[in-house]
A = this chain, B = another copy of it.
């Protein structure tokens, strides 16, 4: 779903920049003779890259900030001069966020809270009517000012900046998301249907990683820890007839 969220981030950002939504009233791509808007993307992973691709597509001025130099090199090779890449330092983040019309938070660290890269003070220093889209809100958000919102009331204004922090962004494009999800899960469904759950799980470590409970026992270490229940490794259970 990271692709969907990343690509959506630009269209919701463009919408929030409209005057009626409280935005500064700029068109991301500008028009000839009028500068394009500045889009800053924090994080160059899957979400950030998809956001960057769409933002370049609508002809904004796009900067990706990431703390991995090798990742910046990959992005530079892939997108060339149209994408601006910056190494993640506090100085770079501050300068770019202050100058930005749209900041997209796409810092997703698997299984960990997103780091608060942008402080309230920095949000306050942004232009009035600028927009923040926080894709990492599901993991707590990477702006000090972000708090979860819903599709029914997707935005709020804090420190003069429009915040879009919907926790389940892909639901807005349910049809696209569902097909994408089917594509990702269908091979597992077929494996279970063709070979039975026990054999399918035995043969595929990826599928086994998703197994939470088996034969009445908790087989996922995180679930066991959070529920304070004993943990049983799945491989032993699966091996039994």
Contacts and interface: CB of A to CB of B under 8 A. Distances in A.
Interface string A180-193: 10011011000000
Q: Looking at A33, A54, A172, which has the most chain B CB atoms within 10 Å of its CB?
A: A33
- How many copies the complex holds: the figure is 6
Interface in A155-201: 171-177, 179-180, 183-184, 186-187
Nearest to A63: B35
Given A57-B57, A59-B81, A81-B56, A4 B27 contact: yes
Interface in A1-41: 3-4, 7-8, 10-12, 14-15, 17-20, 24-36
Contact of A69 (B14, B33, B77, B89): B33
Interface residues of A, number: 68
A151 B75 CA distance: 32
B19 A3 contact: no
A85 interface: yes
A227 interface: no
